[in-house]
Amino acid sequence: MAQTNVNIRMDESTKKAFDAFCNEIGLSVSSVFNMFAKTVVREQRIPFEISAEIPNKKTRKAIENARNGVELSREFHSVSELMEDLNADD
For the chain, the domains span 12-43, 57-87
Helix%, strand%, coil% for the chain, nearest 5: 55, 0, 45
pLDDT digit string (tens) for 38-87?
999 999 999 988 777 778 888 888 888 888 888 777 788 999 998 998 89
Please give the share of the chain, as a percent, with pLDDT higher than 90: 57
Q: What is the DSSP letter of 26?
A: T
| Whether the Cβ atoms of residue 84 and residue 77 lie closer than 8 Å to each other | no
- Looking at residue 25, the DSSP 8-state letter turns out to be T
Q: How far is the CA of 65 from the CAs of 14, 25, 83, in angstroms?
A: 31, 40, 24
What is residue 10's predicted lDDT score, i.e. its pLDDT? 95
Could you tell me the pLDDT band of residue 90, with boundaries at 50, 70 and 90?
low
pTM of the model: 0.54
Cβ atoms 85, 76 nearer than 8 A? yes
CB atoms within 10 A of CB 39: 14
